[in-house]
Amino acid sequence: MVYYEKRVNNNSNFRMVIQMSVDGYHTAYADNIVAYFKGYLDIANDDVESKKGIVLPLIGDWATEIGKTKTEIQKWASDHEDFRIAVEKATQIIESILVKQALQGKYNAAFAAIAAKNLCGWVDKHEVNETKEIHITVVERFDGGQKVISEGVMGRIGDAEYSEVDSGPDTVI
Residue-wise pLDDT tens digits, 125-161: 877 777 777 766 666 655 555 555 555 555 555 555 5
Q: In this predicted structure, what is the pLDDT of residue 140? A: 62
Rounded to the nearest 5 percent, the helix, strand and coil shares of the chain are 40, 30, 30
Does any domain span residue 103? yes
Does any domain span residue 116? yes
Nearest Cα neighbor of 153 from 138, 140, 139, 141 is 138
Residue finishing a domain among 120, 141, 156? 120
Based on the fold, state whether residues 43 and 105 are members of the same structural domain. yes
Based on the fold, state whether residues 137 and 98 are members of the same structural domain. no
Q: In this predicted structure, what is the pLDDT of residue 139? A: 60
As beta bridge partners, residue 92 has none
User: pTM, whole model, 2 decimals?
Assistant: 0.59
Residue 144's domain comprises 131-168
Does any domain span residue 151? yes
Does any domain span residue 173? no
Does any domain span residue 125? no
Q: In this predicted structure, what is the pLDDT of residue 158? A: 53
Based on the fold, state whether residues 59 and 86 are members of the same structural domain. yes
Q: In this predicted structure, what is the pLDDT of residue 145? A: 58
Based on the fold, state whether residues 37 and 92 are members of the same structural domain. yes
Nearest Cα neighbor of 80 from 126, 33, 38 is 33
Rounded Cα gap, residues 8 and 6, in angstroms: 6
Starting at the edge strand found earlier in the chain, the sheet holding 131-142 runs 131-142, 145-157, 160-172
pLDDT tens sequence for the chain (173 residues): 444 444 444 444 444 445 667 678 888 899 999 999 998 888 888 877 777 888 899 999 999 988 999 999 999 999 999 999 999 999 999 999 999 999 988 989 999 999 999 888 888 887 777 777 776 666 665 555 555 555 555 555 555 555 555 555 554 44
Positive or negative, the CA dihedral 18, 19, 23, 25 is negative
Q: In this predicted structure, what is the pLDDT of residue 75? A: 94
Backbone angles phi, psi at 77, to 5 degrees: -65, -35
Based on the fold, state whether residues 93 and 143 are members of the same structural domain. no
- Three-state SS for 16? coil
Based on the fold, state whether residues 79 and 25 are members of the same structural domain. yes
